[in-house]
Amino acid sequence: GAVVSQHPSRVICKSGTSVKIECRSLDFQATTMFWYRQFPKQSLMLMATSNEGSKATYEQGVEKDKFLINHASLTLSTLTVTSAHPEDSSFYICSARGRVNTEAFFGQGTRLTVV
Amino acid sequence: AQSVTQLGSHVSVSEGALVLLRCNYSSSVPPYLFWYVQYPNQGLQLLLKYTSAATLVKGINGFEAEFKKSETSFHLTKPSAHMSDAAEYFCAVEAGGYNKLIFGAGTRLAVHP
């Protein structure tokens, strides 16, 4: 299947700082990317959907000013957690879909720890 | 609106035994249904998907699932469990085409010798 690379796999940051997570589709053009958040031993909660060149669509309850999503190219989307707090600590996962490959492929996830 | 219910947050089987992970869905339109597997600290890997073709779907690693509209179910099975099958399994639904996925709460499968 297609490959989606997410970076970094782990990050620790201090409260109040911002962290950027990258999601790249390595061998296909991702017209749509999704960002999920997963708390320990829980399911994936969709945070937002982004289409290349458009503003992201956020799910209800997700602060768009805190979780900035950029999808500037067909192979890259970024999630920036701004002014991070300990409660933002979580596992963040992206997935991507392309024009031809309608199946969603998932990145390996990023474990964010805010101290 | 679409939703997924996975019955049993934890399932434990013996190596070689049948694996049955339950998933029921709710959808106002014909659904697309998926099963994913997640190993610790990793993303999700697609096991199989139902997209309105054959109701019995075969996936990777010997898993299969049957779509039963009358029961609104899409249970995942494997005839003989391997130790390597121990992981978290998620059922997901998508309505009306390849849009966003709604995930169930997940079932943790443990396989013991």
Give tens-digit pLDDT for B100-112: 888 999 999 999 9
Instruction: Report residue A103's pLDDT band, with 50, 70 and 90 as the boundaries.
Output: confident
- Which of the residue ranges A88-97, B22-31, B64-73 would you say has the lowest mean pLDDT? B22-31
Residue of B68, B81, B82, B72 lying closest to B20 (CA atoms): B81
Q: Which residue of A has its CA nearest to B37?
A: A106
Distance CA A92, CA A112 (A): 7
Does the beta carbon of B1 lie under 8 angstroms from any beta carbon of chain A? no
Contact, B33 vs B74, CB < 8 A?
A: yes
**Beta-carbon neighbour count of residue A36 at 10 Å?**
25
Name the average pLDDT for chain A.
Answer: 91
For residue B42, give the nearest of A49, A103, A108 by CB distance. A108
Distance CA B14, CA B51 (A): 32
Cβ-Cβ pairs closer than 8 A, A with B, add up to 48
In this prediction, residue B89 carries a pLDDT of: 96
In this prediction, residue A100 carries a pLDDT of: 58
Q: Span A62-91, mean pLDDT?
A: 94
Output A13 or A2, whichever has higher pLDDT.
A13
Rg, chain A, Cα only:
13
Measured in whole angstroms, how far is the alpha carbon of residue A16 from the centre of its chain?
A: 19
Are the beta carbons of A104 and B105 separated by less than 8 Å?
no
Q: Would the pLDDT of B95 be above 70?
A: no
Q: Span B15-42, mean pLDDT?
A: 91
Instruction: Report residue A51's pLDDT band, with 50, 70 and 90 as the boundaries.
Output: confident
Are the beta carbons of A106 and B106 separated by less than 8 Å?
no
Does the beta carbon of B70 lie under 8 angstroms from any beta carbon of chain A? no
Q: Would the pLDDT of A101 be above 60?
A: no
Distance CA A69, CA A49 (A): 9
Does the beta carbon of A90 lie under 8 angstroms from any beta carbon of chain B? no
Does the beta carbon of B35 lie under 8 angstroms from any beta carbon of chain A? no
Residue of A31, A26, A21 lying closest to A3 (CA atoms): A26
Residue with tokens 């002014």: A83
Q: Which residue of B has its CA nearest to A109?
A: B43
Distance CA B84, CA A28 (A): 30
Residue A43, min C-alpha distance to chain B (Å): 5
Q: Span B6-21, mean pLDDT?
A: 96
In this prediction, residue B96 carries a pLDDT of: 58
Distance CA B5, CA A35 (A): 21
List, for residues A21-50, the tens digit of each pLDDT value: 999 999 888 889 999 999 887 888 999 999
Q: Would the pLDDT of B15 be above 80?
A: yes
Distance CA A88, CA B93 (A): 27
List, for residues A70-80, the tens digit of each pLDDT value: 988 889 999 99
